[in-house]
Amino acid sequence: MNAQEIKEFEQLAYYQQAIKLRKWDDQAKIVGKAIPAIEALYLRHSRGYY
């Protein structure tokens, strides 16, 4: 983000929550772990398999 984008982002009412969510998401990643393609996950979800 450039300086202007940061300034605009910080004007959002939920920007602090967005930063927390981003940090949690980054911490949940396992480097090098293979994951199914998004299409496979979609099919699993649409068929009711969680």
Q: 2-49, pLDDT tens digit by residue?
A: 999 999 999 999 999 999 999 999 998 898 999 899 999 999 889 987
Asked whether the beta carbons of 9 and 1 are under 8 A apart, the reply is: yes
pLDDT at residue 50, as a whole number: 63
What pTM did the predictor assign?
0.57
pLDDT at residue 22, as a whole number: 95
Q: 40-49, pLDDT tens digit by residue?
A: 999 988 998 7
Closest CA to 22 of 9, 40, 8: 9
Residue 15's CB: how many other CB atoms inside 10 A? 13
pLDDT at residue 49, as a whole number: 75
pLDDT at residue 14, as a whole number: 97
**Domain residue ranges in the chain:** 3-46
